[in-house]
Structure formats: structure tokens, C-alpha cells
Structure 1
Amino acid sequence: MQTPHPSQEAPSLASLAEHGYAFVQGPALNALLTHTGDLSDWDAFADSWNRLQLDTFMADQGRYRRRRHAVFRIDREHGIQAQAPQPHFQSLEYNRLNGGIERWYPPVEPAIASGPTLTTVLKYAWSLFGTLAPSVSAWHVEIHQFRIEAHPDWAGRPTPEGVHRDGVDYVLVLLVERCNIDSGTTTIHAPDGTELGSFTLARPLDAALVDDARVFHGVTPVTPHDPSHEAHRDVLVVTFRRT
């Protein structure tokens, strides 16, 4: 597996190791990803967010979130292996709003799940998180495509459960597109609630990296900048949990 050059990856590793989170700007992440693999299907990858389906599991009755889901196993012997569709499950400890049930979501489209962009993102995350946890030989990885829609009459809530942990080891949040929205600021918090940092994913490939065992995270609601036009926030969320 081709991995990012150590000098490129070092700032993200250092911030994750010291603070439990890192913000990587799009141009820097693009350099890391293109060193790892290629993004030749990026346009098709981004366009697939236009075909996400409504999340019908929202306990707040919100109709502002669309998503797809996929599961992979990554290990040293076999590399990246797509898994059969399976439900997404979080306990109520980690998701007070929608946890405690099996949530079956439409799968990521096959061409996107096996395409070069997603494969490259997985390889990069594996290299990064594997460096932080070198004793882990196998990972359970979940992929979430999210579109949060904002409307003149209601805001879209990227984290409707509030500031939270996901119940995994590491999280990568990658911005695909911001369309006509205001706000959507990511905040990072210590377990006692103290805010440790904040930043806004503003450009494609801007990313947040989170050590989920150490810090909590949330995102402020998004509202339309121009109420007369469509408004949404598209992100890819990748979670790594040791097996």
C-alpha cells in the first residue's frame, strides 16, 4: 500500500496525538490523497450525493437528512474488503436521539464504493489511524454519505444528537460540497464539555480527524444563505473501530 509521505502526514499525526483532533485543509489533504492513490472519479463520487435517500430513522421527525451507508473490513493480511450490507447501530450512550435500534440504510452505490476516490480515502485513513494504533491488525470501517438540507423554514442539523462521541476509535469527516449555506461549524469538546477548538469545513476535501475515545464533536445547524435557492452540506464520514 502506498502511504502518504511522513513529512506531509506529520502535522495531522501530531495534532491527533497531542490534542485528539486535527483540521486538514483541502489542498493539504489533496496532496496526501494523491500521494496515496488517485481521485480520478471525484466528479462521479461527488455527484452520487445527488442520489442519496431520505433518512427515515430521525426521532426528531426531521426530513433534512439524506444518506447511504457501507461497511468494510481492513486488515493487514487482506487489505480493504467490502462487506455485505448490514445495519448501523449505536447504543443510546452514544446517540441519545437515534440510538438503540438497528438502522438499515440504502447502500453506497457499487461504482462509488469500489471506485478510486473512496479507495484512496480508505487507504489514507488506514495509514494515518494505523500509525496511531500500530498494535491493531484489523478494523471495522463504516462509510456514511450525508446530505444535510437547509430550508427557509428550518435549519439542517448535521449532528441532531448534539455534541457526542460515535463509539468508535477514529473518525474522518470529509467535506464534499457546501451549497448556499451559512454556519456548519465543527466544534471539539473535552469530556467535561470544555470547548477545545472549532473550525468550518468550507472547501471540498477540508477534513476533520477525531480521536473518538478522547474528545467529543458536534456541528452547528446550517441555514440557507439565499432562501430562494437550494441549500445543502455534503460530507463523507468514515469511522474506524478496532476488531
Structure 2
Amino acid sequence: MHWTPDRTAPSVGRVVITKTRSPIRSSVGLKVVMAVTGILLVLFLIAHMLGNLKIFTGAEAFNHYAHWLRDLGTPLLAPGWYLWIQRTVLLVAVLAHIGAATVLALRARAARPVQYAHRKKVQGSYAARTMRWGGVIILLFVIYHILDLTTGTLNPVGDATRPHSNVVADFAPERWYVTLFYTLAVVSLGFHLRHGTFSALRSLGQQTPAGERRARTFALVFAVVLTAGYLVVPFAVLTGLVR
């Protein structure tokens, strides 16, 4: 906030108050927040997917990996603290990502209050048109996932010392509805990642026709690989490949 003289005053200059928007609250600043938090969340998704795939190495190896995560950072950190620090950072990143996206969407709508009489068909992808409800599904799934495999509240086993048993019980054939919800959330995440990755690459300068094709291809491949990496675990349990 700063003071500026009112040069239209006839004699004694009046002063008026003008508000200077904080850089982080500007549209550019909010896009930076979305980019940084998006990168952080993508890195976590990659690491989490690779960790999940360790279930194919056997129950003992998977349990060892899960216990290693709980003890990560010791003796500097108390057992389990690393995971809670990670969860806190991810929660802040998710809230900041959603908040920035919401503000940008509201500003874009306010900038065009009158709808066009004849609106051209949007050339954006299916993912771009479903980002909002996809984000809601992902958020609901994250809440369920925490209550299921983190706190064990909704898990049939719910034993923190037996992570492999928790996963197998979670996606058992009789709990097909859990696998269905998991699939819906992961597919929504895939659409979200495809659109977000493509938008980020375009922002980095891939705006020529050839560059856009490369960016679109990379975004699609990345989203498909990550989606498949997450879905292979529940379907392996559902079909009996992992027991």
C-alpha cells in the first residue's frame, strides 16, 4: 500500500490510497505457486508409485520398506516423524495448489462476465474440461486413502506392523467397490496430470506446432505410465497375483 497525490485537486493536494497487490497474489505469482506445488506433488506421486510396486517383491520386502519409511530420519527424528512431516508438507502443497487454481479460475470468469452469444467449441482436451470434478474425486480419495492405509480406520486389518496384509485385505475380491473407487480416482488423476503436464510444458516455451506435439505426447505417456503404475497393484491383488 502506498500514497499517491491527487493531481486533480485545485489547491491543497489530496492523497488517495491505492492498493498494491502482493506479487504472490498476482496472477503470475499464483501460477508460480501452482507450478511449484504441482512439481512437488508429482515427485511424491512418482516416489509413492515406485514404493507401491515393491509389493511384487514379496511380503517381507514390502513390510521392510514400509518400516524403513517410518524410521527414516532417525536418530535425528523420532520414529514416524518423517512421515508426518511429509504429510504436512503435502497437505500444504495440495491446499495451496487448489487455492491458487480456484482464485485464477474466479479471476478468469470475472474478466469475462458476459458470455458470448455464439461461443466456439472449446479446443481444450477432455481433461481440461473435467479438472474441477476430477480434483474433487482425487481429494475425496486422498481422505479415504489416509483413513484406510495410513490410520487403518477403514481397513479390514488396520495393523501398522503388517503393511502387506493391509494392502491385500484392502483390495480383496469381496471389496471390489474399493478397487472401483481407487480406479476412478487414479484415472481422474491421470487426466489431471496429462492436462497439467501439457500446460506446464507449454508455459516453458513449447508453443510451436512441433513443440506442442512433443509436449502433448510426453504428457500423455507420462500420465498413462503413472496411472498404470498405480492401478497394477490393486488389480494384482484382485486377481490373486499378489496374496
| TM interval, short-chain normalised | under 0.3
**Between Structure 1 and Structure 2, which shows a larger proportion of strand residues?**
1
Larger Rg: 2
Q: Which has the higher contact order (CA 8 A, sep 6+)?
A: 1
Q: Which has the higher helix share?
A: 2
User: TM (normalized to structure 2)?
Assistant: 0.25
